Structure formats: structure tokens, C-alpha cells
Amino acid sequence: MRIAIKVKKFVEKLFPSEASGNDSKRWITVCPYCYSTRLDLFVGGYGGKIYRCLDCGYTGSIILEVRMDDYLRLLKERKQKI
């Protein structure tokens, strides 16, 4: 439950009404398929954590953890490839 609140805060930080200088150093969790940050903790416990992407439906234990500035670079590169 605490993780879900964390993710919510990430989303709020992703779309801030006012930019803050510390955001570029913030670590965020990203879906490996669609690069969405809307990840929900699906299962958590002894077997490990499984996340679910709210955008593409990906469910699995592998997620990307990147810093905000790396994430923005990732999105840019992805756009250039398409």
C-alpha cells in the first residue's frame, strides 16, 4: 500500500505545476515496454514484487529504475527512433 502511494507521488512529481530543481535526481520506476511511470504494485511479499503497468497491462517483476533526467533522455531517444 505504501508503494502505491509512492507511485502516486511519482506521477505528481512527473507533472508538476512548478518545476523543481531536485526532480532530475529523483529515482522513478518505469515500465520496460511502454516507459510509462504508472506502475502499480501487483503482488508483494516473500516471492518478490510484481508490478503492473496501468498503461500497457505489462505484469512482471522487471521494471526500470532510472533517474528523472535519464528518463527524460530515454523518452527523447524513443521519439527519435519512431
How many chain residues are in contact with Zn ion, going by CB under 5 A? 8
Across the beta sheet with 39-43, what order do the strands follow?
A: 39-43, 50-53, 59-60
| CB hemisphere CA count around 16 (13 angstroms) | 11
13 makes contact with Zn ion (CB under 5 A): no
52 makes contact with Zn ion (CB under 5 A): no
| Distance of alpha carbon 20 from the chain centroid | 18
23 makes contact with Zn ion (CB under 5 A): no
Q: Which of 11, 13, 26, 33 binds Zn ion (CB under 5 A)?
A: 33
Q: Which residues bind Zn ion (CB under 5 A)?
A: 31, 33-34, 36, 53, 55-56, 58
